Amino acid sequence: MPDKPSIAVLPFQNMSGDSEQEYFADGMVEEIITALSRIRRLFVIARNSSFTYKGQPVDVKQVGRELGVRYVLEGSVRKAGDRVRITAQLIDATNAAHLWADRFDGSLEDVFDLQDKMAASVAGVIEPTVQAAETARSAVRRTSDLTAYDLYLRAYGMAFSSPPEVPGALRLMERAIERDPHYGPALAYAAVCRLRLHADGSSEDPAAESRKGTDFAWRALQVSDDDPEVLANAAYALAYFGEDIGAMMALVDRSLTLNPSFARGWYISADLRLWAGEPEVAIEHIQASLRLSPRGSVGARSFVVGSAHFISRRFDQAKPRLLAAIQELPRHLYSYRYLAACYAHMGRLGEARETIARLRTITPRVVPSVTHLRNPEHRELLLSGLRLAAGERP
Q: What would the 3-class secondary structure string for the chain be?
A: CCCCCEEEECCCEECCCCHHHHHHHHHHHHHHHHHHHCCCCCEECCHHHHHHHCCCCCCHHHHHHHHCCCEEEEEEEEEECCEEEEEEEEEECCCCEEEEEEEEEEEHHHHHHHHHHHHHHHHHHHCCCCCHHHHCCCHHHCCCCHHHHHHHHHHHHHHCCCHHHHHHHHHHHHHHHHHCCCCHHHHHHHHHHHHHHHHCCCCCCHHHHHHHHHHHHHHHHHCCCCCHHHHHHHHHHHHHCCCCHHHHHHHHHHHHHHCCCCHHHHHHHHHHHHHCCCHHHHHHHHHHHHHHCCCCCCHHHHHHHHHHHHHCCCHHHHHHHHHHHHHHCCCCHHHHHHHHHHHHHCCCHHHHHHHHHHHHCCCCCCCCCCCCCCCHHHHHHHHHHHHHHCCCCC
Domain range 146-260, CATH class: mainly alpha
| Res 41: pLDDT | 79
Helix axes of 376-389 and 299-311: crossing angle, nearest 10 degrees: 100
Q: Which fold has domain 6-135?
A: Rossmann fold (3.40.50)
Q: Determine the pLDDT at residue 233.
A: 96
Pairing of strands 6-9, 71-80: parallel
pLDDT of amino acid 295: 79
- Residues 317-373: pLDDT tens digits? 999 999 999 999 998 899 999 999 999 999 999 999 999 999 999 888 888 889 999
Query: Could you name the CATH architecture of 301-389?
Result: Alpha Horseshoe (1.25)
Rounded CA-CA distance 163/376 in Å is 29
Give me the pLDDT at residue 84, please: 86
Fold agreement between 146-260 and 301-389: yes
pLDDT at residue number 256? 92
pTM: 0.82
**Ranges of residues in the chain whose predicted pLDDT is under 70:** 1-3, 128-141, 393-394
Taking a C-beta distance cutoff of 8 angstroms, is the pair 386, 369 a contact?
A: no
Q: What is the pLDDT of residues 71-124, one digit of tens each?
A: 999 989 888 888 888 898 989 998 888 988 888 888 888 888 877 787 777 877
pLDDT at 133: 43
d(CA 351, CA 371): 26
Residue ranges per structural domain of the chain: 6-135, 146-260, 301-389
